[in-house]
Structures are given as C-alpha cells and as structure tokens.
Amino acid sequence: IKFLIFYLNIYLFIFLFINFVDKTHKKEIMHKQASNLRKKHRHIKNNLLTDEYIYTGDRKGEMHIYLTQYDADNYIQHSFTSPEKLPALIQNGKKNWIHISGLSDTHTVALIGKTLGLHFTDIQDILTSQHIAKIETYEDKTFLILNTFYYSENKELQQEHICIIMGKEYVFSFQESDLPLFDNIEKAITQNTARVRNRPTDYLFCLLINNVFSNYLDIIATLEDVLGTMEDEIITGNPRDDFGNRIQANRRDYLQLKKSILPLKDDFNKLIHNENKLICDEDMIYFNDLEDRMLFIIQSIEICRETQASLLDLYFSNNDLKMNEIMKRLTVVTTIFIPLTFVVGVWGMNFKSMPELEWQYGYLMAWGLMGIIGVWWYIKKQHWY
C-alpha cells in the first residue's frame, strides 16, 4: 500500500509537469506566430526625409492598367502596361474608370499621381500598403484609402491595400494585386445593369466602396461561423487540442479588421458633407446607406470581440473544471488509502510484545478491518446515510 501511494504521488507529479510543459510549449508557439505577424506588417519605410517613392508591400507582380470608358449609349475598354497612352484616351463628357493592379512599379504610380495633381504625401500613401484607412477631400477630387481582406488557401487572413480617387469625370482605383475584386462592377457596366452607365462618376465611386464593404461582411460571416463552431465544441465539452491557438488566430483577425475599418467612422463625414460637390444630391442617399453598412460592420466586429472573450473565459473555466476533476479523483484515491496505510503501519511496527503477531487470525482480521473501512467509505460516498 505504501508503494502504491508512492507511485500515485509520482504519477500526479509527472502529470502536472507534462501539463505545465505542454502549456509552456503552446504559449511559445503562439508568441512566435504573433511575432512573425508583427514582423510581416513592419514594412513602413516612406517618410518625409526622402523624395524617393517606395512600395512597402510584398506583392511584386507586374502592373496592369485597365481603362473602362462609357456613357449612356456606349462603353470602350482598353488594357495596357504603360501610362503614356492614358491622357490621350481619357475623354471629357464621358465617365472614365482607370483601374491599376500592381503597385511595385513606383515610377508609374508616381507618374499617374502627378498627372492627377496629387501631393507627394498622397502618392506615398498609395504605395504604403499598411497605411491607415482615411478619406481626404480636395477641391477637384476625393482621395480614399482602405483595405480589403480575403482568406488564403491555408485559411489565413490576407490584407490588400486599396486606393480610390474620384474626380468630376474619372475614377482611379489602385490595387496591390490582380485579385478580381471589382469584376462584378465591370460586368454591370458592360451590361448596363440598373442603368449604371447613365449615372455620374460618384455612383461608380459608391459601387467600388460598396464592394469593399461587402467583402468585409463576407469575412465577418466566416469569422462568426468559426466562432460558432468553437462555441459548439465548448458547450459539448469536447474542444479540439488546438482550441487555444485557434481563438488567438481569430483574435488577430479581429484586430486586423477593426484597425482597418474603425478610422473610417469619423472620416466618412467628409463624404456626407460633400464640400467639393463631387457627389450629386440625388446620389447622396447611396452614401448614407454606405455609412449605415460601415456602422453595421463595426458593430459586427465588436460582437465578434465579445464572443471571443466569452469563448476564452469558457475555455479556461473548462480547463479548470477538468483539472479539479482530476485532482478530486486523485484525492479520493489518497483518502481511501490513508486509513489503510495507518492500519498496516500499526501492524508493521513488529514489537515483540504485540499480541496480534502471535494470533492465528490476525492477518485475516487486518484484511477484514481494511475491507470494513473501504465499504464504509463507499457507503458514505453514495450518501446512503
């Protein structure tokens, strides 16, 4: 019995040690993942001490320029890689949508920006992939920076830098890659869906922003589905082993979404006030609807944050309950064997004058006493009295 208690204590020590090492190892992995994420986003190099334009992202694909020119009756599409032909193709009296995919060619981006009359800092903002979302209104143009998101094949949240510039008869959109984010708008122009070609450029500007906001809603819906699955795992009491890593990954995704959309909450008033009069009065209702969608996105992100906090609390509570249950079982086993250890210890002293040592039925009496103690403990455990 003494050896059994000794081995039980050894088992408890080994179990607690392995559990501690496992938690420490998981924390190290999560710390490394967070560190790699911070290093990935630490790309901002543009500053006011140099006149050099630097693209701070990591997408080095070839630049493509697409021109979609339309009016109420016709539309024309052009595709080219050099911006020299662009000024000659843009026509007054028509709507001109110029979409640039790929920002690694900083010379071309700077040339287009100077053609639009952009300030040096605005061109830097276009090339800074991790720039904060913002809206700037000038006398003849509106300058918008925001981000879009999508999940990669390995289920990691990817961020892409978007810049949209609206003038009286043109809209320029800059994108880091050739992700088909605005293909549905191009199709709508081609088919003149909802008479989009009859509307001014501010409506096209609204459609581009709406596409980005719709993308946010898709990402949030995916995030909510993942959180719902994790909540079911917690409720059923059978969470996966990587539950902690998954909740931390979702927390990082939430922080990325919040950091990207929250700055627009105050800046969006610049569009609503419409000081440069680039938005028609009859189209202002669409921008008010955009503001509502933006507020709904922010609210949904905050709900995700609360859900994550609740799941994390439930996860730690479940771990504590499991640990308490294990400790309870070990305590029960120890409680059973403590009186039995006392009994065998009494008859293990081997004093010469102990009368039980010479008794023929002493061994059976010792076993009977230990059996009575065990039965008594079982009856008390079952609350039979």
Question: What would the pLDDT profile of 121-152 be if each residue is shown by its tens digit?
Answer: 899 999 988 888 999 999 999 999 999 998 88
Residue 146 bridge partners (DSSP): 162
Backbone torsions φ then ψ of 173, nearest 5 degrees: -125, 130
Count, residues in the chain:
385
Q: Taking the CB of residue 78, how many other CB atoms lie within 10 A of it? A: 13
Q: What is the mean pLDDT of residues 101-107?
A: 90
Look at residue 246 and tell me whether its pLDDT is greater than 90: no
Query: CA neighbours within 13 Å on the CB side: how many for 278?
Result: 24
- The pLDDT value recorded for residue 213 is 93
Confidence of residue 4 (pLDDT cuts 50, 70, 90): low
- The pLDDT value recorded for residue 70 is 92
Least confident of 24-38, 231-245, 305-319: 24-38
Look at residue 41 and tell me whether its pLDDT is greater than 50: no
User: Cα dist. 52→46, 49, 154, 234 in Å?
Assistant: 8, 9, 36, 53
Q: Cite the DSSP H helix spans in 117-156.
A: 120-127
- The pLDDT value recorded for residue 384 is 54
Nearest to 176 by CA among 271, 241, 106, 232: 106
Residues with Cβ within 8 Å of 222's Cβ and at least 6 positions away in sequence, in order, are: 151
This prediction's pTM: 0.74
Whole-number average pLDDT of the chain: 82
